[in-house]
Amino acid sequence: MARTTEWKVRLDLFEDDEGATKADVVLDTGATALTGHGSAHCHPADTNVPEIGDELAAGRAMRDLAQQLLNIAERDVQGVGAPRPRDRQVTGWLT
């Protein structure tokens, strides 16, 4: 049976009072929301290129969110009685 679902993602970038670029990425599944956080700060000796700070902060926020999702998925897999990945021969769901 085919299944389709839509999750919404919002990414907000802003600069704090110390000049660091901050990013919050929010994943809304309809049933729950998760927020990933990231930041970047330009070293005083480096040329200030705001786009690079945005990219770093956004990437770090998305990496944080991805790790949260993977942790939740691992707990859910264990919750249905599947062995931990290091105990399995095959990783991921079988197709």
Query: What CATH number has the domain bearing residue 49?
Result: 3.30.160.240
The better pLDDT of the pair 79, 40 is held by 40
Q: Which residues are CB-contacts of 58 (< 8 A; sequence separation ≥ 6)?
A: 11, 13, 23, 25, 38
Q: Are the CB atoms for 65 and 36 separated by under 8 Å?
A: yes
- Domain range for 15 is 8-86
Residue 74 lies in a domain: yes
Mean pLDDT of the chain: 89
Nearest C-alpha neighbor of 35 from the set 8, 6, 73:
8
If one counts the domains in the chain, the total is: 1
Share of the chain above pLDDT 70, in %: 85
Q: Are the CB atoms for 56 and 21 separated by under 8 Å?
A: yes
Confidence of residue 89 (pLDDT cuts 50, 70, 90): low
How much is the pLDDT for 78?
86
Provide φ and ψ at 45, rounded to 5°: -85, -10
pLDDT 10s digits, 57-77: 999 999 999 999 999 999 999
